[in-house]
Chains A and B, each alone.
Chain A
């Protein structure tokens, strides 16, 4: 926590908002900060968070009504996209993103007109930029999810995105794979989204399947699964034009941290 101490200048007025880590919780914290006139705030997740030395703690009790009122106020001053960008920044889970969101929201509430296009303002630009980064990763997940078919007809995929983008992409997969049961599991955050041919649901489970192992495939997968993975790997290498090789571009588009779950980037099993 030492870093924290250095980053926060001494101020008696600083309040550490301790919230449950949910978006609603964060919105409630914003509501409270207005209600109790706390101007200088920082955000901490979870009850056991270490409170910076010079701050007073405020424990936020997540409250749907308060959260809704903040959203309502924001809706009056932001476009749907602007509001959505705020949510994306929340999903970024990047350090200091809650403070960034807070600066943005305060600017929104102090202005009469919609300020989301005022790109020369840091609060606006920072939110825009980080939201874009999250959106880019969501788009990448739409591309890099690789389903495997199990013996009981479930298509499952494992991902480990930098940001918590699963909520952003679930709708896309529901619309596309409407006639197959699927599960996308975020191994980093230990939860998945499951589609049962009707609705989406969030499932929390300890999913112990690592990246494909030969044994795993034959035990749990459909008999043709290994064949299609093999076919895909062969396809991927056949369409490459060696005379044009450009590994830099390749890695820029498909960063190595995503390779773990891509059959085409995995050695043969």
Chain B
């Protein structure tokens, strides 16, 4: 029966796509045009969460898991003995539309193994996006993988239909790439990234002048690095991420903790735990760089090339820089308040707004939902609430650790045992 075949294909091709961790549907605003189907809100919506706790926002599938390459870290590699499948263009369109109409998803994230040639593969991806946009007047979110080596014309067409395009760098350094995917070079992914950057900027400038001009990948481009398959330090990884943010105008860099899938001696053995804590710390550091005004070298450096696993990078920075504290929240700048452990971006803004009305005391902070037990070591507060501030950084760290309940606690113990 046709249906059962589609179910089987979906199982194979969703399973193969799940290692791409990006599932974001944000950053693009597309209105519902001429009473068509769908819109894109700007903020993403997670329609479900898998049992591993990740957001399901898009129908994330490969068009096919046939591939002519043999990258050791990838389940779809040529030499791997897995079931292969391929969707037709019509099947992908039909499932996307029907999932979307039932409010299961925000849109489609389509990637693919490379069959025949990059152009041949890319042409199929573009055809699906085009069908959705033109034939079905679909205004939901579309994320396409840009296949390295595909022609500029196809890349350009892809950008005109998709909200986001991505080229995955996968390996943080050239050395690792050489080890695990000898057929590939970093330049192969840098080139399409540069092309996309140029087009995105060009179209954006045009749109600023003429609102009717077409949009090109309005949600920008993103990329992904696999973490823990090879020996890079966090400094190398964050340095690479910073390069993507600065030089490529990347919207997002994703970090994907390596899930052991192979007995290849070059890679961690099957059964090795996924470095979930490390991945989480990298996201926190990434966040600090993008939204909190931290520079990479404030977070990691030659004297400390890896992030602390037991505490988050903001607390780590504060403990190394106790001379910058205590901070008086009634007078400090927003930038400095954001750097206080336990006070996030939103709460910092609330503090700055609320202090205009009256002087803020610790009880106000507690009421405002600030992690006061964490923040208190770094706050200068008026008497009689004053807290002794002569702890050493080690004492503070121990006290904070004793009261924190990490959402990763369970894994943490097993991971710590490795060090």
Contact = CB atoms under 8 A, between A and B. Distances in A.
Interface of A: 115, 117-122, 125, 129, 139, 142-149, 155, 157, 172, 175-180, 197, 224, 227-228, 230-232, 234-236, 238-250, 252-254, 262, 264
Contacts of A245: 51-52
A234 to B, nearest CB: 6
A239 B49 CA distance: 10
A234 B37 CA distance: 25
A253 B54 CA distance: 9
Contacts of A232: 99, 102, 104
B356 to A, nearest CB: 7
Contact of B51 (A119, A146, A247): A247
Contacts of A118: 354, 357-358
Interface string B393-419: 000000000000001100100000000
B53 A119 contact: no
B18 A239 contact: yes
B249 to A, nearest CB: 29
Given A239-B18, A243-B259, A244-B52, A227 B104 contact: no
Contacts of B10: 231, 234-235, 238
Nearest to B104: A232
Nearest to B270: A243
B98 interface: yes
B104 A249 contact: no
A244 B274 contact: yes
9 contacts: A178-B37, A227-B3, A235-B14, A235-B99, A236-B48, A239-B56, A239-B60, A241-B18, A243-B273
B39 A176 contact: yes
B98 A240 contact: no
Contact of A125 (B53, B99, B368): B368
A179 B18 CA distance: 31
Contact of A147 (B35, B60, B102): B102
Contacts of B104: 146, 232
A228 B102 contact: yes
A232 B6 CA distance: 12
B53 A235 contact: no
Given A119-B353, A236-B56, A249 B49 contact: yes
Contacts of B276: 244, 246
A104 to B, nearest CB: 15
A228 B259 CA distance: 30
Tell which of A118, A246, A247 has the most Cβ of chain B within 10 Å: A246
B84 to A, nearest CB: 16
Given A120-B358, A245-B52, A250-B53, A238 B407 contact: no
Nearest to B347: A119
A121 B98 contact: no
A231 B45 CA distance: 20
Contacts of B137: 179
A131 to B, nearest CB: 14
A146 B49 CA distance: 14
A243 B274 contact: yes
A155 B350 contact: no
Contacts of A146: 102-104
Nearest to A116: B353
Contact of A119 (B36, B47, B103, B350): B350
B368 A246 contact: no
A262 B36 contact: no
B53 A239 contact: no
B209 interface: no
B7 A230 contact: yes
B3 A119 contact: no
Contacts of A247: 51
